[in-house]
Amino acid sequence: MIGLNPALRHSPYDGVSPVLTEELLVAAPWRYGKDGEEPFTHGLRFLPEGGIGGFDHGNERSWAIETGALVLRGVRGEVTARFAAIEAQRGLVVLRAPYEPYAQDAALFFILRLEREITRPSAPMVTGPAAELTDKELVERFESLGHDCEFGLLQRAFGAEPMGLMRWGGTHVVYLIEMLERNFAGLGDPASCEIVESKGELYLVDRRYHLTRHTFTKPTPDVDHAKLFQQHLSFFDFLKKAFVETLEDGELMFVFKDFDNMGRDMVLELSRALRRYGPAKVMVVHQHGIEGAAPTLELVSEHAWLGHIDRFGQRDGAWQISRESWTTLLRMVLAQAG
């Protein structure tokens, strides 16, 4: 399927694959110290603006997530630790890293450890009309914008089979916004489209917007590629027109599954691009990265939300969608959106 999961080490204990995000770091205090020794502190806090609280030492004055790693810096801005591996161990989220200034000195070398409990608070109770919808009715109130096919598969799991431009495909949010702002100019142009083979399936690819769609056709010798190309371009054109109509009438809410943990500014930019066509509402969805973590929902603007489910669904090459987390989040946003 389209999109890549972060490459993270799986726990040998409980199968959880935490994802290193700001939300994970700032959510609770951490124990911090040398691996195998009594912690320096039980109350280190990662503050939202990159500061460190609850522990006063010159080696730990600021933090940032850089290329997927948690980087700690000292009072002069020097890197003191780079936590690149994250795992779950018997109810704990654990990060380890060597102390950088001594990393090349075998006599002084030691490993730092950050850990905190995996917390699984209960999801808020949803009441009102959203709570009364069946799961099939619920997922039919939304249309997927990508990034991949997970939401389309969630709809199928509950017996819903809506058509949608992005249901069986997707692109990066930057190209999605560009496509919306350019009024879909050139989308589906035969000159920028082609049929490509990947992992035993043929895909329709639009190079202009880096958009890929399943054809659900295997690359067998009897497949007429030219005919398949024309068929899917025609269907693509039909879906594009239907997508614009959905944007204009505002009856469905849009969902974008986001691997890249886009910030609030990008959520607002996507919302503005959608609302060029009509009263569209959108929810961008991130993952907590902790199995069983309760869904959370943040209002970004009157028309845009940022939600979190416990985890995304593709694992070890197979789909294991977190249905309960998804449906709880969908009911939460409908209850807020009205």
pLDDT in the model for residue 119: 61
Question: What whole-number percentage of the chain has pLDDT above 70?
Answer: 91
Question: What whole-number percentage of the chain has pLDDT above 90?
Answer: 67
Average pLDDT over residues 180-209: 94
Average pLDDT over residues 228-251: 92
Query: pLDDT averaged over the chain?
Result: 87
Pairwise CA distance, residues 143 & 159, whole Å: 15
Confidence of residue 315 (pLDDT cuts 50, 70, 90): low
Query: Cβ neighbours of residue 106 under 8 Å, at least 6 residues apart?
Result: none
Average pLDDT over residues 107-130: 78
Confidence of residue 288 (pLDDT cuts 50, 70, 90): confident
Average pLDDT over residues 232-260: 92
Query: Cβ neighbours of residue 302 under 8 Å, at least 6 residues apart?
Result: none
Considering only residues 182 and 236, tell me which one the structure prediction assigns the higher pLDDT: 182
Q: Which of 44-48, 100-104, 202-206, 294-298 has the highest mean pLDDT?
A: 202-206
Pairwise CA distance, residues 130 & 314, whole Å: 27
Report the interhelical angle of 173-181 vs 264-274 (nearest 10°).
30
pLDDT in the model for residue 8: 29
